[in-house]
Chain A
């Protein structure tokens, strides 16, 4: 069973190696996780042999397999610490965003020790059954028990907020800033490959607006969200807007990203960056993050129309992300950097932009009416009229958005 373990380990390595060759690849894998899969394979083999010797027929072996499969599925669907006691323990990509290696809190070493101690423990049972030396079996059994207890304790007592505390320190320590044309970009360690993609979003938005007086530089800063101590949600790190890069307008960007056309949850963060950049252009300031750490920032009226149009119409990424997000709901709302704070565009503002996008030739109309759109007194009806959109429906009943 060492051969299958080696094959599985090599395949996992090959998969990650191929992915790492892409220019847009970010982050670095945990090497110990390659050994974990080899250990899981060895454990599966030893379990099979043990089931055969103890059960003496196929049926108990099948039952053991079904039990293992159920445990694995349960470990996949839950986020509770006990999932680390199963063969596999992936972290939900919905809950935990991609992070630099130094911020990953997976107890991979303890998991490896846990799997190995189980495998050796079962092997000891087999050795005892065939009459191996009693003293050797006892010695190995004691060692396995100690290793299993230690590793189980580490896995079960892993603090839920460990990652949060690490992320906070990583944010400041690992950020590397680089200026690309009109903006500055600060990426976490190993995430620098995303900077050209972010720069394309910013550049195309700036190119789509009429020439304006010099404005403050946009500073796109990548952040990991911090989980609240009660585990109820994620908040923007304190002091995120600190003007540490020459007094620019800071814009948050997540560690998530998705390619145009992919039906991915991560599209929310593509549109989040595009909308945050558009907000800084249209409103001339960074989105006002509520100090309590949660809430909604509404984009309404002419400025809301202008911001969503900039976010969606100027890049393929923004257009694709809006398509994915607005498919299940007419409401365009995206969390800022995976946090509990969201940018939300009014229903009717979204309707105007959708019609402009369907029209296709809206860029000239937007540029011609740019000053009107940016006037904070411009209503959505006035913006629609100026842009040539025939009419917009009434606001949805019961919605307090943009009222």
Chain B
């Protein structure tokens, strides 16, 4: 008999809440909140601490998911877990774990402006938009390949397609705002597109683990 546990009893949920806290801090920093509150040197320190917090919490979530017991936390998950055990003999699919990692990496690079993996950090709106479009392209291509290979159900592909089209439309609206000289609106549209990319990541995580 499989029993669910309370939401906050899950180490993964606790770690993800911590990571989200760090991400919210980084997003606020992206919009200049840190600059309004702290000196330039302190802003860099705060951003670095938030990055360490987010990265550490995310890695811990992955570690907890990989090594600790992972009882379901909702009745729906109980039913699905039993169904998945019958269907595929286990709870996690290696394909989906790698898929989530593949998506998390570029999103992390986007939010953090990290130069790891040899990628050049964007320094302007145009360059950030190019990275956002590139991430979206990689994600959509990966999803298409997964559907073509039968690794992902078509209905999941349709959901990803809808979100990708939304993100593309938002980025195009940002382009129009930039062309009209409204950089503030353009930046807002870019942030929204990054939010949709994160929705795609969440959707994949939900479906894949």
Partners in one complex: no
